[in-house]
Every structure is written in C-alpha cells, then in structure tokens.
Amino acid sequence: MIPFVDLKSQYLSIKPEVDAAIQGVLDSCAFTLGPEVVAFEKEFAAYSGADIGVAVNTGTSALHLALLAAGVGRGDEVITVPFTFVATVSAIDYTGATPVFVDIDPATFTMDVTQLEAAITGKTKAIIPVSLYGQPADMGPLLEIAKKHGLVVIEDACQAHGAEYKGQRSGSLADMTCFSFYPGKNLGAYGEGGMVVTNNAEYARTIRMLRDWGAEKKYHHVLKGYNFRMEGMQGAVLRVKLRYLEGWTEARRTAAAHYDRLFEGTGVVSPKAASYSRHVYHIYAVRTRNRQAWQDALLAQGIQTGIHYPTPVHLLPAFADLGYKAGQFPHSEQAANEVLSLPMFPELTAAQREEVARAVVNLAGGEIASASSAKAL
C-alpha cells in the first residue's frame, strides 16, 4: 500500500526530540500559550520573513482574527476564490461580511488576478488570495490593485509554509498571512494549530487580544474576543518540527520534480509551478476527465489518492444563500471535477513515485489509445 500521506514514519524519524518536548511541557505545566508558544511565534515569524507571529488554535481562527483585525464586519465584502478549502470562506462568513468570488487561473489553481479588479465594489474591504497546493497567486499585480483601492490583503497560506513569490516568502508578501498547523499540513502539529504573521504591530496587538477573550490584561476585556489560544504542547512540537521543515520541503520538491519527469510526454496533465514561485507541494494534483475511474483503479493497485476539493465553495449547500449558480466560475468548477491528488509527503521514496507514475501513465495511455481507436472508426 502506498499511502496518500504518512504521519507515522515522520513521527518515528524525530520521536526522541518530540517526546522530550512534550515531556518538557508536562514538567512545566504551561499547557496553554506559555514559553514554548512564544518561542515558536518568534521562530516561525522569522522563518516566514515577518516581524511578528501570533499563534492561535487553528488556521481557520487565524483567518477569522486577521479579518477582524483588518476591521472587516457586517456590510463589507471580501474577495477570494471558490476553489479552496471551505474554511477560507467560513472565516469571512464568521465576521458577518459577504464573500465575493473571483475564478482561478486553471494553470496554477490560484486567483486569476486579471479578473480581480472587476469584482471590487465600494463595499470591498479585503482580498484573500489562497496559496493553494503550496504556491502563491501572482502577488505582484494583486498587491498593486489592492494598494490602488486601499484594500487589506490577507494571504491564506495554510498550505504554503515556506512558499515564495519572486524570492520572497509567504509571510512577507501580504499585510497578514495565515497558516494552519493541522497534522496533515507541511508543518503539522500533533493536534490543531494556526498562526497569523505580520509586520504590522497594531494588527498583531489586536489579534493577540482577540485570541484570548479580548483582554488587554487579565480580566480587562476591551474587545469581544474568543478562546483561540494555541496549546503549549503544540508550540513545543512545532518548534521541533520547524527545524526539519526546509529538509522536508526540499524532499517534496524533489518528489514533485521526479513525478514531473515521469509524466513528461505521456499525456498526463501534471501541475504547473509558475516561474515566479517556489512551490512547496502540499498537494501534487494531476487532472483527468475520468477521475472516479482513475481513483478506483489506483486504489485497486494499492495507491491511495485524494481530491482537493470535489466541490467549489460557491456550489456547496452550506453557501447556497450566496445565490451563486453552476457555470459562474468555470475554471474552478472544471478543476473541482478533474483534480486528483497523488501520494505526496517528504518520506515518499523514489520507488514509490515510480510505482505511482507507472500506474497513472497506464491509465492515461489506455485513454489515449481508446480515444484514437474511436477516431479511427
């Protein structure tokens, strides 16, 4: 069996350090926030090219609080893409603001920045480009448009730890950048976690208060806040894992380059890394018109795959109230129908990659053969 991800082998590779870090938190009894979380905030902000990090309990909370810090609320509009994990849009909804969608560039699966300006209205307050699968959107023109219209940019980098745009890290591009440390993400906690990084001290101060009941100091609640604190154990585990992140990211990039080579000239539609990006391959998704058949056939050969994501958010029942219809965001809809995520994790071996690629190329080859024999008839 080739799994889609393998959290166990990664844990075993760093077990003594992780176990000691967890024991340290048990010994200190600093179970929520505390010195390990403070140290992790500093270390991860530095890694991401930002001045300040504020750790929270999930990536969703990071997005939610970043929006609140930007002053987003009822009556405002926030622009994002429909081809994302639902949390991006839920975070907008939590603030009372209205999500407004812009379609994706089908080549990169990120926001089509050429369509952005047409979506801006007098109510637009912020833009959330999603660095889907591990590469940023075309941030240069996006930031220019935001500046021209006075909009706050919040990068959803929940899948893009260590990604870069023209040599600059996700974390140093937007006004605020949000990360998730869900276990399956490129930097994963042993539980839940998230962070907002920023160079703006005022945003950071507001988020710090909002995550801890809006308190300026103990029991002095100046904002209506939340309990979105990061746990001490997650901070301690994440500090250990951060030291390995660059190595793991390079292993993902090596694996992706290997897949790319194995698919070259075979008719398999492999994902495109834009020339501006350092893609960190949280997901390696190919496209196929026969996804269900491919997924079933691969599973029968012992190869697990995933679908990220099968329904664009504008067509999810939960967001029917937004009033969107099928056909409005064709590139997002087509991607949702065609993408198939292949096994991708740092410990994936060259032999496993070859086995996966052989199986996928066989499926694609069979289709090309049957399509051309159909044409011959």
Ligand X SMILES: *Cc1c(COP(=O)(O)O)cnc(C)c1O
* Cβ pair 356, 343 in contact under 8 A: yes
Sorted by sequence, the CB contacts under 8 Å of residue 2 that are 6+ apart come out as 302, 303, 304, 343, 348, 352, 355, 356
Q: How far is the CB of 371 from ligand X (least distance, A)?
A: 34
Q: Which residue among 34, 136, 188, 194 contacts ligand X (CB under 6 A)?
A: 194
Query: CA 206, 210, 212, 217 torsion: positive or negative?
Result: positive
Write the binding mask 30 to 59 for ligand X: x where contact by CB under 6 A, - elsewhere: ----------------------------xx
Closest residue by beta carbon to ligand X:
59
- Quick one: DSSP state of residue 103? P
Of 90 and 266, which CB lies nearer to ligand X in the complex structure? 90
Q: Is 88 in the site for ligand X (CB under 6 A)?
A: yes
Say how many residues make up the chain.
377
Q: Is 95 in the site for ligand X (CB under 6 A)?
A: no
Query: For ligand X, which stretch binds (CB under 6 A), given 83-91, 141-149, 241-249, 293-301?
Result: 83-91
Of 189 and 236, which CB lies nearer to ligand X in the complex structure? 189
Q: Which residue among 87, 303, 313, 336 contacts ligand X (CB under 6 A)?
A: 87
Q: Which residue among 10, 80, 124, 159 contacts ligand X (CB under 6 A)?
A: 159
Six-digit token string for 180: 């998730």
Q: Which residue among 182, 228, 263, 319 contacts ligand X (CB under 6 A)?
A: 182
Rounded to 5, what percent of the chain is helix, strand, coil?
45, 15, 35
Residue of 96, 65, 93, 69 whose CA lies nearest to 80: 93
H-helix or E-strand spanning residue 241: helix 232-263
Of 180 and 288, which CB lies nearer to ligand X in the complex structure? 180
Contacts to ligand X by CB under 6 A: 58-60, 84-85, 87-88, 130, 156, 158-159, 180, 182, 192, 194
